[in-house]
Amino acid sequence: MGNFVSIAPLRAVQTRGTRTGTDYLKVAFFCNHFTTITGSLIVSLKIAVGGKGGVGKTTITSLLARAIAASDTKVIAIDADPVANLAAGLGIDESKPITPVSELSDLIAERTGATPGTMGGFFTLNPKVDDIPDRFSIEKDGVKLLVMGTVKHGGSGCICPEATILKALMNHLVLARNEVVVMDMEAGVEHLGRATSGSVDALIVVVNPGKRSRVAADTIKKLGQDIGIKNIVVLANRVRSDEDIALIKESMPDYEILGFIPEMDEIVTSDRDGTRPFDDITTIPDELKAVTQKLLDLSD
């Protein structure tokens, strides 16, 4: 697993023959996961985002997913938080409810051979899931959103059809998809396991200057290390001053810090108005652009 490298110069990719009208040189980020070009970049990069509630984790996840997609890269955004609100950050219309995968009862019964809501008995432990991301995702500005949902009964390790589908789907997304997968996780890394951890390029723990979020980062880091994630970094959010930066650096000396994102009036306003922040994603702060580039520069 590689470390973060310095920001590399952008290189242009000729995707069409001329520069007239809509035919132009598309500027794109390059990384060692690059495979091929068919009008857009095919990049295999898996990023999990965690953090204590209230640190801005979901907002950061949505902005990173949109910024990566703006470089003509295929992105799947996974909402794996029980309080699912990644759709709002992506600007997806929520007037029509989005059904989480864990609540697709007919599909789960078909693929596992068991009725959702039941435990024990016989059912398929390796159900077909490769078509789910395309069939049940909602796309906006190049980002496909897939809402995972949760198992509403049993313990954390319950063996039931819903949990089996979610585990198989997460394995597929992390291990088999040649896309950027950005995962908005619960406070910890509950949806990941040892089978997938080795293919996670980075676990980003979002913190703010508050002590509780920094303490939570230690717990999340340990959970990530316990399942084998090697690249665990911190992204400081809602930073107001040089004093905040110094505090985070001094109190988290054992972490690699991916960047410092300032407190932004745009996010406060969009949250109040119920709109996505930075509707024009090219206007995000330079600090977020730099973080996006660092993520795309991850290399083996």
CATH code, domain with 179: 3.40.50.300
First to last CA, the chain: 5
| Bridging pattern class, strands 11-14 and 25-28 | antiparallel
Residue 3 lies inside a defined structural domain of this protein:
no
Determine the residue type at 260. Answer: F
pLDDT at position 158, please?
59
What one-character DSSP code corresponds to residue 213? H
Q: What is the pLDDT at residue 192?
A: 81
Dihedrals φ, ψ of 237, to 5°? -120, 160
Report, as ranges of residue numbers, the positions in the chain whose pLDDT lies below 70. Answer: 1-42, 117-122, 152-159, 187-188, 190, 299-300
The pLDDT assigned to 123 comes to 77
CA distance 227 to 273: 39
DSSP string, 136-189: H-EEETTEEEEE-----SS-TT---HHHHHHHHHHHHHHHT--SEEEEE--SS-
The pLDDT of residue 193 is: 78
Say if residues 29 and 295 touch (Cβ distance below 8 Å).
no
1 belongs to a structural domain: no
When divided into structural domains, the chain yields a total of 1
The C-alpha atoms of residue 239 and residue 60 are separated, in whole angstroms, by 13
Inside any domain, residue 63:
yes
pLDDT in the model for residue 150: 82
Phi first, then psi: give them for residue 15, nearest 5 degrees. -100, -15
Residue 101 lies in a domain: yes
Task: Tell me, yes or no, whether 216 lies in a domain.
Answer: yes
Length of the chain: 300
Q: Is residue 5 part of a domain?
A: no
Cβ atoms of 36 and 24 within 8 Å: the answer is: no
User: Whole domain around residue 95: which residue ranges?
Assistant: 11-296
Q: Is residue 6 part of a domain?
A: no
Report the C-alpha gap between 72 and 60 in whole angstroms: 19
- Is 79 inside any structural domain? yes
The Cα–Cα gap between 261 and 237 comes to 5
